[in-house]
A and B are shown apart, each in its own frame.
Chain A
Amino acid sequence: MHVAHHATPLDWLPFLLVVLVTSQYLAAVWLQRTSGASWSLWRCGFFLTGSALLAIAFWPSLMAWAHGSLVGHMTLHLLIGMFAPLFWVLAAPMTLLLRTLPQAGGRAVAALLQSRFVRTVSHPVTALVLNVGGMYVLYLTPLYAASLENPLLHYAIHLHFLLAGYLFCWAILAEPDASPHRLSLHFRLGVLFTAIATHSLLGKLMYGYGWPRNTGHSLEEVQAAAQLMYYGGDLAEVLLAVVLLTLWLRRPVKRREGLWSKKPNAA
C-alpha cells in the first residue's frame, strides 16, 4: 500500500500545469481584448471554473488522500473526467488559440485539428469508448490496483480521464469550438444515452461484484465509491444534456434542427 508522505516537486506538477495553461488562456484573452477584438467574459468564467475544479482535484494533499481512498479517488475522477472538461469545452480554447497564434502557428494548429488522428478521436463514438471504455478497463481489471503502486501510471490515468472527458464533451456539444464532424442532434443524444447506460451499468457491476478487487479497500468502501460514481455520473451527464439542448434552444427557430424529425424547422 501507498504510505502518506510529504509532497515532492513531482506531486505539484499537475497543479502547476493547470496554473500554466490557465495563465496562457488569460494572457491570450488579454491580447484579444487589448487589440480591439472581443472575447466573451462568459468563456473566461467557464475556463476559470474548469481550472478551479482541476486545481482542487490536483492539490497534492487531496491527491494523496484520493490515492488511499476509493471514495476520494471517485470524487477526483468526477471532477477531472466529467465536470472540469465540460467547463473547459464551453470556454472555446481552440478558437482562442487559433485567433491568438501568428499565421504560421495558426496554420499548424488548424492542420492538426483537420488531421486524421484528431478527426478519429473527436468522433462521439470514439470519445465514448475512450471515456467509458477506459473506466471499464480501469475498474474491472487489475489496472487500478497497479496504479496504486506506480505513480507514473497513476498520473497517466488521470491525464487520460481529463483528455477523454474533454473529447467526449466536445464531441457531444460540437460547439463552441467547431467540430470536425457534422453529426445530427439525434445521433449525439443517442451517444449520450449510451454513455449514461454503460456508465450506470458499470456502477452497478462494481457495487454488486466488489470491483476493483485486490486493492485493500473494504466492500463497503467499494460500494460507496460505486454509488458515488453512479449518482455523480448521472449529475454530470444530465448537466451535459442540459447544456447541449440549451445551446440548441438558443438558435433562432428557423435554423433550429428538428428534435422530433430529421427535417429542419419541423418542430
Chain B
Amino acid sequence: MMNAPTSLRTDPKRSLWAAVLVGIGVMAAIDEIVFHQLLQWHHFFDFGTPAFGVLSDGLLHAAELLAVVVGVFMLLDLSQRKRLVIPWAKAGFFLGMGGFQLFDGLINHKVLRLHQIRYGVDPLMYDLVWNAFAIVFLLIGVWFWRRARAHAAR
C-alpha cells in the first residue's frame, strides 16, 4: 500500500482502484441484465463448459458481485475522508468497465467457454464487436487517465 505523507490530503491511487472495482461490477451487471435476461443470448449453463470452467465461474461471479459493493463503499469512505479525486475515479470506472468486457470476451467466452455470446450463429463477428467495445471503453479510460494526470500536474 502507498505510504502517503500525512500532509497529502487526496488519494489518487485509491480513488482510481475503488472506481475500477465499481466499473467491473457495473459491466458484469450490464452483461447479466442485457445479454442473459433481456436478449437471452447468453445461456445460464453451457453443456460444453469444461469442469474447471464451471468451478471458476462461481469464483468469478462472487468476485463481480462483491466488487461493485466494496468499490462503492470504498468511494464513500474516501469521500467522507475528503480524499476522493473525481478525475482519477472516472478513469478507473472506464478502465474497469473495459477491462472486464475484454476479460469476459477473451477468458470467459473463449478460454473457460462458460457460454458464447449468441447461439445458433457463427460467433466470430459477435466476438469481434464485443472485444472492440472493450477496447473503446479502455481507450475512454486511458483518455480520462491522461486528463487526470494533466490535472494533477497543474
Contacts and interface: CB of A to CB of B under 8 A. Distances in A.
Contact of B62 (A200, A205, A261, A266): A200
Interface residues of B, number: 26
Interface string A158-192: 00000000000000000000000000000001001
A242 B45 contact: no
A238 to B, nearest CB: 6
A241 to B, nearest CB: 5
Contact of B65 (A196, A204, A208, A248): A196
Nearest to B78: A267
B54 A201 contact: yes
B61 A259 contact: no
Contacts of A205: 54
A261 B17 CA distance: 14
Contact of A261 (B1, B66, B80): B1
20 contacts: A189-B70, A196-B62, A196-B66, A198-B58, A201-B55, A201-B58, A204-B58, A207-B44, A207-B45, A208-B47, A241-B65, A241-B66, A242-B69, A248-B73, A249-B80, A253-B81, A259-B70, A259-B73, A266-B1, A267-B11
Interface of A: 189, 192-194, 196-198, 200-201, 204-205, 207-208, 223, 227, 230, 234, 237-238, 241-242, 245-246, 248-249, 253, 256, 259-261, 266-267
